[in-house]
Structure 1
Amino acid sequence: MARMFCIPGIIFLFCAFILSILTSISLPFLPALDIARAHLNGNALINGDTVNQVRFGSTDRAACTYKNDDSRICTDANHGYSVPISDTNRDANVIISGSWTRGLAVHPVATAVTFIALLFSFSSHVTVTLVASILSFLAALLTLIAFAIDIALYAFLHHEVGKIPALQASTNPAPGFWLTFVSLILLLLAGCTVCFGRRRDRMAGASAYPSYPMSSTTKTPFWKRFRRN
């Protein structure tokens, strides 16, 4: 690949991979990189505990609640976790079911494809760079799906906690939500950069073999063939 396209493409893929893997790790190991969070002002009951905040991780295996003293309780790892939320008087309750969190497992898959695309992008072989470009766009597609799932989870959380006025809840997209969006942009840029680099290489290869003009022959008129020299 042309060097002016090779280096930016690798940088875009590397940055996208780092952001994607951080988002995939998320809760409970990186508590600041959740996808969506709801501030409940200490008016909510979740799993029998009075909590001030609930955070949803970017995988399908963990959610964490925070009490007024900032102590944290995270759910046990399971596929597609559910979070029941009610007010302290148990007058109303809602459930963020596993059907809304199970799809978050797309994040690690997108991370894995991004890593493979990054490895392929180091090659200068034309065919390998084509594969790197395809993998970059595939990773972008998976990240787009993951981002759509994040949006759906945030919207559903906002809608459900709003059903309980006593919570006085406010919901926000968390840092992991925005890291996914930035990773999507970087993957699209990487795919285009790698593709343009491959096209530049093909054009450079074509110019290395100059075309030669075909020799032109002038036909001799019929009557001049019988003239004496």
Structure 2
Amino acid sequence: MLTRYLPIFIILSLIAEILGTIGGFGSSVFFVPIANFFFDFQSVLGITALYHLSSNVSKIVLFKKGLDKKIVVSLGIPAILFVSLGAYFSQYFNPKVLTYILGLFLIILSLLFLIFKQLKILPKTKNAIIGGALSGLSAGLLGTGGAIRGITLAAFKMDKNKFIATSAVIDLGVDFSRTIVYYFNGYMHKHDLYLVPILILVSVFGTWIGKKTLDNVSQEQFRGFVLFLILIVGIISVVSNI
């Protein structure tokens, strides 16, 4: 089936990468709903983990001048620990139920921040740890946790380059951890591996386009766009399972 629709899949994957780069929380929030139309859910988890590894390396290279090491530690360590837990237990949960819950959570949270613009998550280490744990658990169970991480990072009011670089470094650790667990869960299939080099090229090109686009976006526009994209992700997560 995918051979017939491969060009469409590649174009949609490229759009996911561009939007994920502009939003600052990675392509998986869009890629997972897209891939769900072409693969079974467990295959989606395996392919997303491999795709995201190259995607985050591209972001680290292109946005390497911006990085908050303190946030990488406080948010990244719990994310890496909990993604392994979520990846292991993903085989025991109904993914549709979990996707509905995540979608509704993102819709409510993003609308709150868009409507009540003065509402803020306090930039505290405790909140970074909680956000990291929730984003890691979500990434392991559902294949995507970047939107939760994005909302948490937004509290620290980083400039867009630092936001993206910090998010990408954390995501790289998350992806590496869950890739190992997904492999032993049997989510990676030989007949899907031909997609990996294609998606690597897509991730590099999409990240480059996203960076060029960000050069013309203000900090305030960036924050609003992040929240708007999170709202769209929540809607897609709910609608894709109807």
TM range (shorter): under 0.3
Structure with a larger share of its residues in helix: 2
TM-score (norm 1): 0.27
TM-score (norm 2): 0.26
